[in-house]
Amino acid sequence: MPEQKNNPLHGITLQSIVEHLHKHYGWEALGELININCFKENPSVKSSLTFLRKTEWARKKVEDLYLKSLGNK
């Protein structure tokens, strides 16, 4: 397993990221910031996790927004 020292996402679950973003921005703003249907059409943490676990490009956008929301980017 590669060293994770410099990975700011190490140890943070995707669920925690989605919940943080939902609390920080709300579903409507998330759908505007990241144009994916799981944030626009009947959004929920569960449906978002299902989509993001299968879609690498969308997960990357969500992770980047999470880091930005923390002031890390």
Q: Look up the CATH number of the domain holding residue 22.
A: 1.10.720.30
Task: State which residues form the domain around 21.
Answer: 14-70
Q: Could you tell me the pTM of the whole model?
A: 0.86
Does 66 reside within a domain? Answer: yes
Q: Which residue shows structure tokens 């989509």?
A: 51
Does 4 reside within a domain? Answer: no
Does 9 reside within a domain? Answer: no
2 band by pLDDT with thresholds 50, 70 and 90:
low
The predicted model gives 50-69 an average pLDDT of 96
Q: What pLDDT is recorded for position 7? A: 82
Phi-psi region of 5 (alpha: psi -120 to 50; beta: other; left: phi over 0): alpha
Whether the pLDDT of residue 72 is over 80: the answer is: no
Number of domains in the chain: 1
Whether the pLDDT of residue 4 is over 90: the answer is: no
Q: How far is CA 64 from CA 17, 50, 70, in A?
A: 10, 18, 10
The maximal CA–CA distance of the chain, rounded, in angstroms, is 38
Q: What pLDDT is recorded for position 41? A: 93
Q: Which residue shows structure tokens 């626009």?
A: 40
Contacts for 59 with CB less than 8 Å, ≥ 6 apart: 14, 52, 53
